[in-house]
A and B are shown apart, each in its own frame.
Chain A
Amino acid sequence: MFVNPEVPPDSIPSAEDLDWQPLHPRFARRLRAGALLRIAVLAVVAAAIHFFATSGGAGPLVRAVAGLLPAMWAAVAAISAWALLWPTIAVPRRGYVVCEKDILHRSGVLWRSVKAVPFNRVQHTATDSGPLDRRFGLANLSVFPAGAGGHKICGLGADTAEELRVYVSARIEAESEETAD
């Protein structure tokens, strides 16, 4: 029998008062390691440009590039500093909560968002981890409802992600049994 008791809206806890779970402590380090790799590629490209601009001929383009070299290195330094600093700012502001009926994810530093996906709308779940994630023992959990409004919770511990995935799958099953279609 379809049971659908009315719950007074005031008794539902508001999502902002929840006990937000932080991401894995190693996640900031993993982001910095990724940033270091990208910075290394950027530095190699910049060094190559530097080399060609200083050793090449005296065409107008080469001279123009040679004049811009200090600006280029300043930009590389600024991007590197920002990329290394960013995880320290952003990671503490991300988090997730698993409630009885839904899963919430918050993110953003300037543009902050809190997204909630009810379990009974979830179509499927997935975990994934890149080589760098695995090196740090991390994994990402994705939750897909129909349409475009899914979660991707990055930077969970590998076992946490798997536990969560199993839990969410179990919740979906429980929800569909409770109110079979």
Chain B
Amino acid sequence: MPNPPDPDPGAWRRISPFAAVFFVGRTLRNAVRGYVQLVATFGAIAVLVRGAPHAPLLIPAAIAAVVAGAVLKYWFFRFRIAEDRILIREGVFRKTALDLPFERIQGINVRRSPVDRLLGLVTVRMDTAGSGTTEGELPSVRAALADELRARIAAAARTREARPGTPAPPEEDGGLRDRNRTPGEPLLKLGGSDMVRIGIGRDIVLLAAMLIAAAWRRPRELPYRFAETFGFSEEFVRPALETAEATIASSDALGDTTFAGGLVLAALAVVLALGIGTALLRHHGFTLWREGTAYRSRGGLLTRREVTVETARIQQLTLYQDAVMRCFRRYRLRVHPAADARASSHHDVPDVLEVPLLDARLADELRSGVFGREGAGVVLLPKSGPFTRVSRVYVQALLLRTGGVPALGGSLLLLSLTGPTRAWAAFSGAWGLSWILIGGLVALQRWRRRGYLHDEDGLAVRSGLVGRRVDAFLFRKAQSVTVRRSPLERRRGLATLEIALASDTVSVPCIEHGVARRLRDHILHKAETNRRWH
């Protein structure tokens, strides 16, 4: 082990042996991450199980290999907490040495899996600025260590501030001076009925329910398609279903219709139960506090996640209102730290603080808490603010993309199959018309939802099709600003304004070119005269 150049070397420590469980979990998660990998993994397993004569031997061998790998990973994992930094050495074959100064750590997030909770352990994840992925992770350490790390990081921040010549952070950020870090009254606590609302409120649940309802026409097909999706053959399901059908038909006068209706209702119930179950797993007992200058949330049924985010580090707020949520007058809020949102499908991204269910009052309170006196005019609520609509040309631009391209492409594809016959003309005409009709309605709705509003310091952009979404940020958080013009926009004297933040890119399409330029110059001016973006 190389000697790190540190005057006060703390001892190298090991994590708990139960971390092996964590490493097994991570290996399995990596194996099924992404749809392509999921299919590849299950495909490989299926081929192995069917093809190889010694298939039953392969599975225990694979399990043994995964467990042995996890134990080795635990064996080579060491960490050390020094005066101003944390050092982590890990890796069996490819060794990595991480040296993370406390002042670069943005937030300490804590996860407790069921195993961890039984043993009083936690998994600590440290997020840093400028990196899209979680950099440091300490699996299965004592719960007290998380508090120790938090205290050390706060102390490091204090000494950094005490350095002469550094400007005091302005009031609206609260800076890191606030030493009162004890959590006060929770801002929000969610109970069981809230979980039901979260579960049935998501647009995706609504979509699944609508799809199932649309399948009403041929409900007998449904169980077979389901069975197919999950990899069972039709012959496997048919006897069971036919027996059930026969039983119902013999005992019920209505017979067939009842059976079909029952199937659809059962499918709907399963979808709703899945939605509510996911909500319960992820958000059970969700609690949100303001803790000094940070927001801290905790929730989860089995694995409990705890996310802390410093107010000054927040880049962007995104408020969602799914279609069903409108009936409850509730919203969902994501608080984005500096991390590449696009990296999420490939890497372990830092936990994002997400408030799954909140009302308008709390949303407004959180907005003013995060943005401070700046951006007082930046409204988060999609209905209340005086959002400016974008030009009507946006409908045209969307229609070209969502209606015109598939209509034309489909007609051309058909032409290559049938040749220019009368049947082709009739069919491709109907095809094109239906696409343009659907695309037109979608485009019109998306145009109605599009809007933006800004004051001196910040911008809010509204969008959505089924639900609504508002992205809001302060101009000084901007990383780069782009004015983009498509051929259509240039003909109409319009432009698209794109603002890249450290978290995500926000764009305002089809606004006057002059307005876009003025806004761009104003945003650049704000960004260039203020360095505080994280």
Given contacts A123-B130, A146-B502, A148-B500, contact A113 B482 (CB under 8 A): yes
List chain B residues, Cβ under 8 A from A14: 517, 521
Smallest CB separation, A90 vs chain B (Å): 15
A-B contact count (CB 8 A): 109
Pick from B344-352, B420-428, B526-534 the stretch touching chain A: B526-534
CB distance from B483 to the nearest CB of A (A): 5
Using Cβ atoms and an 8 Å threshold, which residues of chain A touch B481? 115-116
Chain A neighbourhood of B165, CB < 8 A: 180
A19 within 8 A of B: no
Task: List residues of A (58-114) whose CB comes within 8 Å of B's CBs.
Answer: 101-102, 108, 110-114
Q: Is the CB of B500 within 8 A of A149?
A: yes
Inter-chain CA distance A1–B168, complex, in Å, is 9
Hey, which chain B residues are within 8 Å of A150, CB to CB?
480
Chain A hits for B485, CB < 8 A: 111-113
Does A116 contact B482, Cβ atoms closer than 8 Å? yes
Among candidates B340, B484, B520, B532, residue contacting A147 with C-beta atoms closer than 8 Å: B340
A12 CA to B517 CA in the complex, in Å? 11
Q: Which of B486, B505, B522 contacts A148 (CB 8 A)?
A: B505
A175 contacts the other chain (Cβ, under 8 Å)? Answer: yes
* Complex: chain B residue closest to A9, CB-CB: B522
Q: Which residue of A lies closest to B132 (CB)?
A: A147
Flag if A147 contacts B531 (CB, 8 Å): no
Contact A149 B486 (CB under 8 A): no
Select one of B342, B505, B528 contacting A118, CB under 8 A: B528
A148 to B528, CA, bound (A): 18
A121 CB to closest chain B CB (Å) equals 5
B528 in complex: contacting residue of A16, A101, A115, CB < 8 Å: A101
Q: Which of B157-183 contact A (CB under 8 A)?
A: 165-167
B273 CB-CB contact with A under 8 Å: no
Closest A residue, CB atoms, query B516: A114
Chain A window 136-150, contacts with chain B (Cβ cutoff 8 Å), 1 for yes, 0 for no? 000000000111111
Q: What is the CB-to-nearest-CB distance from B438 to chain A, in angstroms, rounded to a whole number?
A: 25
Q: Chain A residues near B482 (CB, 8 Å)?
A: 113-116, 149
Question: Is B503 in contact with chain A by the CB < 8 A criterion?
Answer: yes
Q: Is the beta-carbon distance between B479 and A146 smaller than 8 angstroms?
A: yes
Given the complex, which residues of B lie within 8 Å of A7, measured CB to CB?
525, 529
Closest CB in chain B relative to A122 CB, distance in Å: 9
Q: By the criterion CB–CB under 8 Å, are A121 and B480 in contact?
A: yes
Residue of B nearest to A123 (CB): B130
Interchain CB contact under 8 A, A149 and B521: no
User: Which A residue's beta carbon lies closest to that of B486?
Assistant: A111
Q: Which residues of B contact A54 (CB under 8 A)?
A: none
B83 CB, min distance to chain A CBs, angstroms: 21
Query: Across the interface, do A101 and B524 meet the contact criterion of CB distance under 8 Å?
Result: yes
Q: What sequence of 0s and 1s flags, for each residue 214-250 of chain B, a beta carbon within 8 Å of any chain A beta carbon?
A: 0000000000000000000000000000000000000
Residues of A within 8 A of B505 (CB): 147-149
A2 closest partner in B (C-beta): B167
Q: How far is the CA of A5 from the CA of B130 in the complex (A)?
A: 28
What is the CB-to-nearest-CB distance from A70 to chain B, in angstroms, rounded to a whole number?
16
Chain A CB within 8 A of B129 CB: yes
Which residue among A101, A146, A180 has the maximum number of chain B CB atoms within 10 Å of its CB?
A146
Residues of chain B within 8 A of A4, CB atoms compared: 529-530
Interface string of A159-181 (1 = CB under 8 A from B): 00000000000000001100111
Shortest CB–CB separation between residue B131 and chain A, in angstroms? 9
Closest chain B CB from A149 CB (angstroms): 2
> Is the beta-carbon distance between B531 and A12 smaller than 8 angstroms?
no
Q: Which residue of B lies closest to A146 (CB)?
A: B502
Provide the residues of chain B in CB contact with A119, threshold 8 Å: 528
CB nearest neighbor in A for B503: A147
Residues of B near A175 (CB, < 8 A) are: 531
- Across-interface contacts of B530 in A (CB, < 8 A): 4
Whether B338 sits at the interface, judged by CB under 8 Å, is yes
Kindly list chain A residues whose C-beta atoms are within 8 Å of the C-beta of B517: 14-16
Chain B residue with minimal CB distance to A181?
Answer: B531
Taking the complex as formed, is B487 at the interface, i.e. its CB lies under 8 A from any CB of chain A? yes
Known A-B contacts A9-B525, A181-B532; the reply to A110 vs B487 at CB < 8 A is: yes
Tell me if A121 and B527 are in contact (CB < 8 A). Answer: yes
CB of A8, distance to nearest CB on chain B (Å): 10
Question: Is B511 part of the binding interface, using a Cβ–Cβ cutoff of 8 Å?
Answer: no
Chain B residues within an 8 Å CB radius of A181: 166, 531-532
Residue A117 at the chain B interface, CB threshold 8 Å: yes
Asked if residues B521 and A113 are in contact (CB atoms below 8 Å), the reply is no
Residues of B within 8 A of A127 (CB): none
Q: State whether B167 touches A1 (Cβ < 8 A).
A: yes
Query: Within 8 Å CB of A113, what residues of B?
Result: 482-485
Contact assessment for A145 and B521 in the assembled complex, using a CB-CB cutoff below 8 Å:
no
A125: Cβ under 8 A from any B Cβ: no
B531 touches A145 (CB 8 A): no
- Contact between B521 and A121, CB atoms less than 8 A apart: no
B91 to chain A, nearest CB (A): 26
Least Cβ–Cβ distance between A79 and chain B, in angstroms: 19
A129 at the interface (CB under 8 A from B): no
Find out whether the CB atom of B166 lies under 8 angstroms from the CB atom of A180. Answer: yes
Contact (Cβ within 8 A) A121 B520: no
A84 to chain B, nearest CB (A): 23
Interface residues of B in 302-330 (CB under 8 A from A): none
Provide the bound-state CA to CA distance between A12 and B484, in Å: 20
* Structural contact, B479 and A121, CB atoms closer than 8 A: yes
> Max chain B CB contacts within 10 Å: which of A7, A118, A147?
A147
**B520-A116 in contact (CB<8A):** yes
Q: Which residues of A sit under 8 angstroms from B484, Cβ to Cβ? A: 108, 111-114
Residues of A within 8 A of B500 (CB): 145, 147-149
Interface string of B489-525 (1 = CB under 8 A from A): 0100000000011111100000000000110111011
A-B contact pairs, 5 of them (CB 8 A): A114-B483, A145-B502, A146-B534, A148-B340, A181-B532
Which residues of A approach B to under 8 Å, CB–CB? 1-2, 4-5, 7, 9, 12, 14-16, 101-102, 108, 110-121, 123, 145-151, 175-176, 179-181
Q: In the complex, given contacts A9-B525, A111-B484, what are 20 additional A-B residue pairs having Cβ atoms less than 8 angstroms apart? A: A7-B529, A9-B522, A14-B517, A15-B521, A101-B524, A102-B524, A110-B486, A113-B484, A114-B484, A116-B482, A117-B480, A118-B478, A118-B524, A118-B528, A121-B478, A146-B479, A149-B479, A150-B480, A180-B166, A181-B166
Report the 10 A-B pairs with minimum CB-CB distance, sorted nearest first: A149-B500, A149-B480, A146-B502, A145-B479, A2-B167, A147-B502, A113-B484, A115-B482, A101-B528, A117-B480
